[in-house]
Amino acid sequence: MKAKTARSAEQAAAVTQAAQAASAAADDPPMSARDDAIRTAAYARAEARGFVPGHELEDWLAAEREVDATQGVA
């Protein structure tokens, strides 16, 4: 059980790192409510997949589209 928890923590850290890298690459201002919503949605997507690695960017971009659609951003 501890190995599974450690692996999940590592995978969650990878998702967070990918999200931070995407934000830094775009020279965005400090985290906003939108960023927080995207990060949460991306994490939920990764969690639903069982944190299978290699889909971090896909999760992030899908989460951006989802958040923007719910907030009425074009």
Check: pTM over 0.85? Answer yes or no: no
- State the pLDDT at residue 65: 96
Q: How many domains does the chain have?
A: 1
- State the pLDDT at residue 55: 95
Contact assessment for residue 24 and residue 49, using Cβ atoms and an 8 Å cutoff: no
Hey, what amino acid is at 53? P
List own/partner pairs for 65-74 with CB under 8 A and 24 or more apart.
66/41, 67/34, 67/37, 67/38, 67/41, 71/34, 71/37
- State the pLDDT at residue 10: 78
The per-residue pLDDT string of the chain (74 residues; one tens digit each, 9 = 90 and over) reads: 566 666 777 777 777 777 666 666 555 556 789 999 999 999 999 999 999 999 999 999 999 999 999 988 76
Domain of 61?
2-70
